[in-house]
Structure 1
Amino acid sequence: MRVVPTLMCMAIVSGPVVADEVGITKDIMSVTVPTTNGTVEIMRDQDTDARLAEPWLQTSRPCPSFCIQPMVPAPGVTPIGELEVLEFLTSATAVLVDGRVRPQYEEGTIPGAISVPYTEAADRLGEFGCEIDFDGWICEGDLPDVVLFCNGAWCGQSPTAARRMIEAGYPAEKIYYYRGGMQSWNMLGLTVMPGTS
């Protein structure tokens, strides 16, 4: 009987533990990434009562156009998840590409992402180290890994961008596809920021 009151006093004396409880992993609370506007700390929303907002609540969209996308949008492309996206963001050898149309990017994107709408992907390979040639693009040498994403598993914008980039000459093995996209990113409560030029 005496043990219980002693333990209760110890708990009251020590006070509440103030710490973030919603981590990215059990060992990683946040990741700091460079963006065009300075560094941004990506972390999960610490409000354990937080809920998704529109449009991320919607589960069913008409197919076509909103058909479920394959895990691998083109042969040679590697599918990845959130932890790999964060790893790529902290490396100097990768480019995170938001393949959605510009207004969607401007509404909110993953910090560190650049806007390359899927309709422009094949025309902007010069931004990824390719050289223009009379017949198209020459994509050789030390090219960056390109991580593509869009709105989620039902969004065809980044898979289309991947296919167009490959057709234009970008090596498929240098392309990574974050299929979960903004829907999964938002579902996990990860940091989102407005996209900028």
Structure 2
Amino acid sequence: MKNLAFLMALGAGLAAPAFAESVNIRPDIASVTVQTADGPAEISRIQDTANELSGEWARTSRPCPNFCIQPMNPAPGVTTIGELELLEFLSTGSGTVIDSRVVPDYEGGTIPGAISMPYTEMADRLHELGCEPDFEGYECPADVKPVALFCNGPWCGQSPTAIRRIIEAGFPADRIYYYRGGMQVWRMLGLSVSDPKS
């Protein structure tokens, strides 16, 4: 039932017929329109079938520590998601997508519709997500809007750190989703990247 609702929501947000482009998100979905602070934005894949990653995003080996491979699940109760689930968050408005990377990384390009909330600040900014401050952190209602966090990729610890910190501060783990693929996998799939500086 949830998948049916997602397909219907995606169908309503399509910017172009699936057959108009050869590199689709799915066979029946060419693009998804999402709401951003600057208005609607279209997410699609790069149509150049010879396109390749280059520069920082093409690096496969980073020294551990600090860049160790992250666990699939960063904390008990948190749900790990992929690109289609993240697109559902964005297209339906069912949750808030958070770029938990430091500001310079965010300014280098982000997922359209994501808001910037650096992992170093998140535990102190839960009031922006619908929680109320209390003496020991925050009190969050059981139905607080879900959040989906991402960072640079499977080797990036910024989102897992943010997730553990916001749970400790009072945000319910079952309302947190972790897009582990992050910007590296998003870019590897040729999905649209927005420039927050423009």
Tell me the percent identity.
64
- What amino acid is aligned across from residue 111 of structure 2 in structure 1? I
The residue number in structure 1 matching 2:169 is 168
Equivalent position SS for 1:56: helix
Q: Is the 8 A contact 2:101 2:116 kept in 1?
A: yes
TM-score normalised over the length of structure 2: 0.88
The residue number in structure 2 matching 1:151 is 152
For residues 141 and 197 of structure 2, what CA distance do their matches in structure 1 show?
29
Q: Point out where structure 1 has 5 or more consecutive residues left out of the alignment.
A: 1-17
- Which of structures 1 and 2 has the bigger CA Rg? 1
Determine if the alignment matches structure 1 residue 62 to structure 2 residue 71: no
- Deviation, 1:25, is 0.2
For residues 58 and 94 of structure 1, what CA distance do their matches in structure 2 show?
31
Equivalent position SS for 1:96: strand
- What amino acid is aligned across from residue 28 of structure 1 in structure 2? I
Number of residue equivalences: 180
For residues 112 and 174 of structure 1, what CA distance do their matches in structure 2 show?
19
Q: Deviations over 1:14-34 (max 9, x none)?
A: xxxx93100000010000000
The residue number in structure 2 matching 1:90 is 91
Determine if the alignment matches structure 1 residue 109 to structure 2 residue 110: yes
- Deviation, 1:196, is 5.3
Q: Is the 8 A contact 2:45 2:192 kept in 1?
A: yes
Q: Is the 8 A contact 2:101 2:118 kept in 1?
A: yes
TM-score normalised over the length of structure 1: 0.89
Q: Point out where structure 2 has 5 or more consecutive residues left out of the alignment.
A: 1-18
Worse-superposed segment, 140-149 or 152-161: 140-149
- What amino acid is aligned across from residue 85 of structure 2 in structure 1? E
